[in-house]
Structure 1
Amino acid sequence: MKKYLLTSIKLTAVLLVLLAVLYPLFLSAVGKLARGKGNGETVSVNGKVVGYANIGQKFTEDKYFWSRPSAVDYNAAGSAGSNKGPTNPDYLKTVQDRIDTFLVHNPGVKKEDIPAELVTASGSGLDPDLSPAGAKIQVKRIAAARHISEDKLNALVDEQTVKPLLGMFGPAKVNVLKLNATLDEMQ
């Protein structure tokens, strides 16, 4: 009995040092080598930090590209999706309200042309990216609000589009905060 007790205490002490001290220190050191030095990638406009690139932000003005809706109102302290299923009447009403709002602010767009990501929240509620189609469908509204040509805005979306890794892993995406920050710097 003493033999097993002493062995288990030694093993617990070794694992405690390894997993509670050395492993977190190693991960922290690796994080310091990453972009943002382990503190996240910040986005700045005119030298002022406006947000983090990996956390979705809320944009509602017509002069900005709108982000994907959030079930938690973009609160990073409590990321979550909705518990409502795709046939839940409350969920369907929420999606229809988002569609109606989008159509009011984007005249000329047909309901069936709206990418699903612009009216449905992501699993975390903090998705910072849109597909290029999700960004480009908003170009006409932003061009009118900012008095910028649609061609210039389409080129900006293309410039900000991150292609899939090695051309095949993951979808093409556009970070909405970076896109809007670049848009503000243009003016």
Structure 2
Amino acid sequence: MEENQSIIGPIIRMSLILMAVCGLVYPAAVTGIAQTISPAKADGSLVYDENHNVIGSELIGQTFAGDSYFHGRISSIDNNGAGSGSNNYAPSNEDMLKRTQESIEEWKKNNPETPISEVPNDLLTNSGSGLDPHISPKAAYAQVNRVSEAAGIKQSELEKLITKHVQGRELGVFGEERVNVLQLNLDLKNMLNE
């Protein structure tokens, strides 16, 4: 019994030391290093308007309404990044089939000049997290006709804008080329306001 009591003190002291190191010192050090090296990324890659108001993040997809803007992927969370994730439906799931069919019908209604066979899957399905801010370049180019007509901007100008926003693969080999929809639409908004 005395042996057990003699090891309780060191166990409590070690627990307190580890809680302080792992719960306070380490997080504070990592946060300090991140804020020093890359403060914008450490703060969530926030995007500000001309009045310095936060309008979004480069890392979280947003829903854009209106034909004069490029649309991103379908979101399972409707602009609320608090709960990321997507329903893990199989391709044969009835809810998944219904949602996909609704996406196809909405595409046909909003983009009648672009055949559904030419629409990339990323415009009809959501990402695994439901937060993906990117679409493929092909998905952006597929929307040019609609955006051009609604915004009154030449298709060639929109194609140049998309090309400007194409981000390459990570380190040249990982992932796919992609376009950040928020950044693309902010530049498009600037073009509309000129």
TM value normalised by structure 1: 0.92
1:11-46 deviation line (CA, Å, top 9, x unaligned): 212211110111110121133132426322222343
- Which runs of no fewer than 5 residues in structure 1 stay unpaired? none
- Aligned equivalent of 2:132: 127
1:62-118 deviation line (CA, Å, top 9, x unaligned): 000001001121211121201432111121011011011012111221222111111
Is the CA contact (8 Å cut-off) linking 1:56 and 1:177 kept in structure 2? yes
Out of 41-50 and 52-61, give the one that drifted further: 41-50
- Superposition pairs of residues 83-102 of structure 1, within 5 angstroms: 83-102=88-107
Q: How far, CA to CA, are the matches of 1:26 and 1:71 in structure 2?
A: 35
SS at match of 1:107: coil
Q: How far, CA to CA, are the matches of 1:22 and 1:175 in structure 2?
A: 36
- Aligned equivalent of 2:76: 71
TM value normalised by structure 2: 0.89
Q: Does residue 38 of structure 1 match 2:10? A: no
Letter in 1 for 2:7: Y
How many residue pairs align between the two structures? 187
Letter in 1 for 2:20: V
Report the Cα offset of residue 122 of structure 1. 1.2
SS at match of 1:36: helix
- Aligned equivalent of 2:155: 150
SS at match of 2:40: coil
Report the Cα offset of residue 183 of structure 1. 0.5
Report the Cα offset of residue 132 of structure 1. 0.8
Q: How far, CA to CA, are the matches of 2:20 and 2:47 in structure 1?
A: 37
Letter in 1 for 2:131: L
Q: How far, CA to CA, are the matches of 2:34 and 2:190 in structure 1?
A: 29
Out of 4-13 and 156-165, give the one that drifted further: 4-13
SS at match of 1:127: coil
Larger radius of gyration: 2
Is the CA contact (8 Å cut-off) linking 2:113 and 2:145 kept in structure 1? no
Select the residue among 21, 35, 50 that pairs with 1:18: 21
Is the CA contact (8 Å cut-off) linking 1:45 and 1:181 kept in structure 2? no
Select the residue among 121, 146, 151 that pairs with 1:116: 121
Is the CA contact (8 Å cut-off) linking 2:74 and 2:126 kept in structure 1? yes
Is the CA contact (8 Å cut-off) linking 2:144 and 2:155 kept in structure 1? yes
Q: How far, CA to CA, are the matches of 2:130 and 2:166 in structure 1?
A: 21
